[in-house]
């Protein structure tokens, strides 16, 4: 499947886990360069190719397409140890990675003390955020505090030693305040991580110029994010968000290209809604239904294995995501998970705590936790869709459901996924 235009952004439009990895994998056919623009190893993209399953955390899923150049942009916080575990695992499984993976010299490096601080802070916090404990937040804190370590810093041993030494002092002091200690394990991990520096530098590149050169040469570029719009640091359900900007605008700052280079923005949504971690989920199912859909959809985190909370499709959120990302099209995933349900609901608005009905997504996270969704009810199709490959072959009620999602989101449906395999995709002519 080809991508329209020379530069496409793929962005999640819910709370992450929308199935972006599969959509990126499908859209990667015929693409020359794929770049990840934010996040870290807290993301998990699961892709099924035939009987094989690949779970990717930092390397773009386009690596599964031979010849594609895969980049990690300056907006990423790179967990060096995990990155090379992933890199070597792909190579061991027969995926050609040599010369195909590049890392921005401007990308910040996530080091073992970031993971230690993340776990310690979450454990001691009165108000839990529900982090993965992978060190993403502390790494972005160091970046914003202008005390981080970038890939470029690995070229100067003296400068690197000074920055790391200062960081370790800060970490040990903070751990002491929290009643914890670093222990010998930190020293071992630090030695292992910094020992990978020369290997990382061999992959270093300037992603902005590389992508710009590819575009000027008429090549096709795909930019992918991690997490989803509702986890964006500015536009999500703050403070229950990630530590970076997940929306389409971050594709520019996170790779080093300008906004006029982007032609297409594809928003990925599940046919229902899920959320992992803390924070409100307005359309959450009752416990019995929650467990039922979780099992039907295999709703467990690809990175942590944590069970995801499930709920009905929230068009208030998807409409907000269409606006903030400037979507040109939607990819709807996991439609097949709804195949057996007799009745479906879609939240078209929220009834606020004061009784007002709002169609906009509120900035006040605390109000969001108290809203009552205004639902529309539609009949299910109760027919298997996993083998369908054309929109016209879907059950009538499934097409009606997709039409209503399109109307309420105010973005056209361009792709529909009806299973985990890369072949289980329906392309909708626009």
Helix, strand, coil proportions of the chain in percent (round to 5)?
35, 20, 40
Q: Is pLDDT at 48 greater than 60 in this prediction?
A: yes
Report whether pLDDT(381) > 50. yes
Q: How far apart are CA 417 and CA 404, in angstroms?
A: 17
> How many CB atoms are closer than 10 A to CB 412?
12
Confidence band of 1 (pLDDT split at 50, 70, 90): very low
Q: How far is residue 409's CA from residue 315's CA, in Å, rounded to a whole number? A: 6
| Alpha carbon 186 to chain centroid, angstroms | 28
Query: Mean pLDDT, the chain, as a whole number?
Result: 91
Residue 165 token pair: 């030494």
Percent of the chain whose predicted confidence (pLDDT) is above 70? 94
pLDDT for 7 beyond 90:
yes
Element spanning 86, H or E: helix 80-92
pLDDT at residue 183 in the model: 66
Say whether pLDDT at 428 is over 70.
yes
Q: H/E element holding 392?
A: none
Banded pLDDT at 127 (limits 50, 70, 90): low
Q: What mean pLDDT do residues 374-390 have?
A: 97
- Count of C-beta atoms within a 10 Å radius of residue 415: 20
Better pLDDT: 128 or 344:
344
- Residue 258: pLDDT over 90: yes
Q: Is the model more confident about 141 or about 51? A: 141
Residue that wins the pLDDT comparison between 121 and 99? 99
Is the preceding peptide bond at 239 cis, omega within 30 degrees of 0? yes
Work out the average pLDDT over 27-49.
86
Instruction: Judge whether residue 363 has pLDDT over 90.
Output: yes
Query: Parallel, antiparallel, or unpaired: how do β-strands 343-351 and 313-314 relate?
Result: parallel
Mean pLDDT of 18-43: 90
Looking at residue 247, what DSSP letter applies?
S
Cα separation values, 261 from 250, 258, 275, 389, Å: 13, 6, 32, 32
**pLDDT, tens digit, for every residue of 301-340?**
766 678 999 999 999 999 999 999 999 999 999 999 999 9
Q: From the centroid of its chain, how far is CA 92? A: 25
- pLDDT grade, residue 49 (50/70/90)? confident
Please, are residues 15 and 228 in contact by the beta-carbon 8 Å criterion? yes
Residue 4: per-residue pLDDT: 39
Listed in sequence order, the residues at least 6 apart from 168 whose beta carbon sits closer than 8 Å to its beta carbon are 113, 182, 186, 190
pLDDT at 131: 67
Q: What is the DSSP string of 199-246?
A: HHHTTEE-HHHHHHHHHHTT--EEEE-SS-GGG-TTTSSTTSS-SS--
* In the chain, % of residues over pLDDT 90: 71
Handedness of CA 385, 300, 240, 150 (dihedral sign): negative
Residues 6+ away with beta carbon under 8 Å from 228? 11, 12, 13, 14, 15, 16, 17, 18, 246, 321
Confidence of residue 119 (pLDDT cuts 50, 70, 90): confident
Active-site annotation, residues: 17, 45
Cβ neighbours around 276 below 10 Å, total = 22
CB-side exposure of 70: number of CA atoms within 13 Å?
23
Supply the DSSP string of 23-80, one letter for each residue: HHHHHTTT-SEEEE-SB-TT--EEEEETTEEEEESSS-GGGGSTT-EEEE-TTBEEEH
Name the band, by pLDDT with cuts 50, 70 and 90, for residue 242: very high
Residues 205-212 have a mean pLDDT of: 96
User: Is residue 169 predicted with pLDDT exceeding 60?
Assistant: yes
Cα distances from 103 to residues 120, 147, 205, 302, in angstroms, run 29, 20, 6, 23
The residue ranking higher by pLDDT, 79 or 127, is 79
62-105 per-position pLDDT tens digit: 899 999 999 999 999 999 999 999 999 999 999 999 999 999 99
Structure tokens at 423: 């072949």
At 61 the pLDDT is 84
Strands 372-379 and 7-12: unpaired
Does position 41 have pLDDT exceeding 90, yes or no?
no
Residue range 276-302, pLDDT digits in tens: 888 999 999 999 999 999 999 999 876
pTM of the model: 0.91
For 340, residues 6+ apart whose C-beta sits below 8 A from its C-beta are: 296, 380, 382
Residues 6+ apart with CB under 8 A from 301: 17, 44, 132, 276, 307, 308
Side-chain-side CA neighbours of residue 161 (13 Å)? 3
Tokens standing for 43?
């993301």
């Amino acid at each position: 499947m080809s991508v329209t235009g020379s530069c496409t952004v793929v962005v999640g439009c819910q709370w992450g886990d929308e199935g972006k990895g599969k959509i990126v994998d499908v859209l990667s056919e015929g693409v020359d360069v794929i770049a990840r623009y934010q996040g870290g190893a807290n993301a998990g993209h699961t892709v099924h190719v035939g009987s094989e399953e690949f779970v990717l955390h930092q390397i773009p899923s386009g690596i599964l397409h031979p010849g594609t150049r895969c980049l990690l942009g300056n907006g990423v916080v790179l967990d060096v140890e995990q990155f090379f575990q992933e890199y070597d695992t792909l190579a061991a499984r027969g995926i050609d990675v040599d010369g195909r993976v590049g890392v921005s010299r401007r990308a910040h490096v996530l080091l073992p003390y970031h993971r230690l601080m993340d776990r310690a802070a979450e454990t001691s916090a009165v108000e839990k955020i529900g982090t993965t404990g992978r060190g993403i937040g502390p790494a972005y804190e160091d970046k914003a505090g202008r005390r981080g370590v970038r890939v470029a810093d690995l070229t100067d041993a003296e400068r690197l030693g000074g920055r790391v030494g200062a960081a370790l002092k800060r970490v040990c002091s903070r751990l002491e305040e929290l009643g914890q200690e670093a222990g010998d394990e930190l020293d071992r991990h630090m030695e292992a991580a910094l020992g990978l520096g020369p290997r990382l530098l061999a992959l270093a590149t300037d992603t902005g110029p590389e992508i710009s050169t590819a575009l000027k040469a008429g090549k096709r570029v795909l930019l992918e994010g991690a997490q989803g719009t509702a986890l964006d640091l500015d536009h999500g359900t703050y403070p229950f968000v990630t530590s970076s900007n997940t929306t389409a605008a971050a594709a520019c700052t996170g790779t080093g290209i300008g906004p006029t280079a982007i032609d297409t923005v594809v928003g990925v949504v599940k046919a229902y809604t899920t959320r992992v971690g803390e924070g409100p989920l307005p359309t959450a199912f009752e416990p019995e239904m929650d467990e039922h859909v979780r099992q039907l959809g295999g709703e467990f985190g690809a990175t942590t294995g944590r069970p995801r909370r499930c709920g009905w499709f929230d068009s208030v959120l998807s409409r907000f995501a269409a606006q903030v990302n400037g979507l040109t099209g939607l990819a709807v995933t996991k439609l097949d998970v709804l195949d057996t349900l007799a009745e479906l609901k879609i939240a078209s608005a929220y009834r606020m705590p004061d009784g007002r009905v709002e169609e906009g997504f509120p900035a006040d996270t605390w109000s969001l936790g108290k809203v009552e969704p205004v639902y529309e009810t539609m009949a299910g199709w109760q027919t298997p869709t996993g083998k369908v490959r054309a929109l016209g072959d879907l059950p009538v009620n499934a097409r009606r459901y997709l039409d209503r999602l399109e109307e309420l989101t105010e973005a056209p449906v361009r792709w529909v996924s009806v299973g985990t395999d890369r072949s289980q995709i329906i392309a909708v002519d626009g």
